[in-house]
Amino acid sequence: MVSVLVIAVMSATACGPRRGDRPTVWSESQSGMAAMEATSPWMDYTVVVATADGQKLRLRIDTLCSVCQLTSAAAARLHLTLSSRTVLASLVASGVPEAAARRNGGLGRGWALRQRLPGSYVRGLEICGVTLPAVYFVVPSRELPGPTTAPDLDGFIGMPVLSKVAAAFDYQRQLVRMWFPGHIGPRDLRQSGYVLDDTLPAHAGPLGLPWIRCQLNGRGTWWFHVRNEEDYSVIPAALAIGAGVPPTGSGHRAHAHANYSLSVVSHVRVGTRTFRRLPVIVSRRPSDARLPELDGGFWRRTGVMILDMPAKTLYLAHNVPVQAAAAPRSRADF
């Protein structure tokens, strides 16, 4: 979990296309895949190479971001014409004073700041074998702290794209696979080489971010954000107390702060499956009331996590085992 997360919410009027700038309708069924890039020191990010206007873009995919964002350098390479729009940016665990954030319209889950940021549509973005007619990207004039400040990244893909596709995060084979327009089923999974283990309902929260319900230590069921990346899952202090998860260690490298500590959840039940000894970061900030997260470190244990938000479904799966090569047949076998 990075210390800063940027979330923006735009109204249907504000984020919709202007007259004369209507995007092409998403109508063609497509599917494909791309390799996850994992280069030090960003091993816990999901980064894939996409293309637009003949330019390669290294984009981070994050299910906990409600906008897509490009760096100003990437926008310049694509020769984008920018226009400013007001967005609601939520900065979690940032250096922004909480009192100032409250004055600018707190969300109740994290703190929110209204900002006017430039942005533009990118047309013909090809990512994971799927070509998208038009995707709106925020392009801040100064880089917002968070996902795009990592070296060599050109931006990130958030829920405006992930809400329209089914996305498989194949941690076993280090692949990201996408199906458009989603609504996949067991047959699609089998054809892609996956064995279905479990099916769970997924819900879209107020910011369009995916939630599921899971049980901790047999003490109760809570809503969790679904995040495809990062290594440690995060739970707020109130939930840790209710689930009997005491802090046991010093801060994680990404949370070297007195407000955070490491701990272990003995049992996590997701759907019909139970996972043991999940390392977590416990937030000890009394004001940190945001939903907890099940991050990439957890989903890697499942093998393959497939988020199909058009069908409001999350699948857990694993890869079809590679068949062992048949032993040479002797003359006696004939």
> What is the per-residue pLDDT across 282-312, written as a single tens digit (0 to 9) for each?
877 655 556 788 888 899 888 999 999 999 9
How much of the chain exceeds pLDDT 70, in percent?
A: 68
The pLDDT mean for the chain works out to 75
pTM as predicted: 0.78
Residue with tokens 């093998």: 303
**Does the pLDDT at position 65 exceed 50?**
yes
**Which residues lie closer than 8 Å to 175 by C-beta, 6 or more apart?**
33, 34, 35, 36, 168
CA distance linking residue 106 with residue 99, whole number of Å: 9
Q: Are 233 and 277 in contact (CB under 8 A)?
A: no
Label the pairing between strands 273-283 and 220-226. unpaired
The residue that leads in pLDDT, 196 or 147, is 196
- Residue 329 confidence (pLDDT): 45
CA distances to 98, 100, 111, 144, 314 from 103, in Å: 9, 5, 10, 20, 37
**Does the pLDDT at position 166 exceed 90?**
yes
pLDDT tens digits along 72-108: 899 999 999 998 877 655 443 233 334 443 443 333 3
pLDDT tens digits along 312-326: 999 999 998 755 334
CA distances to 90, 99, 107 from 104, in Å: 10, 9, 10
96 CB-side CA count, 13 A: 25
- Residue 248 confidence (pLDDT): 65
Question: Mean of the pLDDT values across residues 276-282?
Answer: 87
pLDDT tens digits along 203-233: 988 678 899 999 999 888 999 989 888 878 8
Q: DSSP letters along 128-183, please?
A: TTEEEEEEEEE--SSPPSSGGGSTT--EEE-HHHHTSSEEEEETTTTEEEEEES--
CA distance linking residue 176 with residue 171, whole number of Å: 8
Handedness of CA 32, 36, 74, 310 (dihedral sign): positive
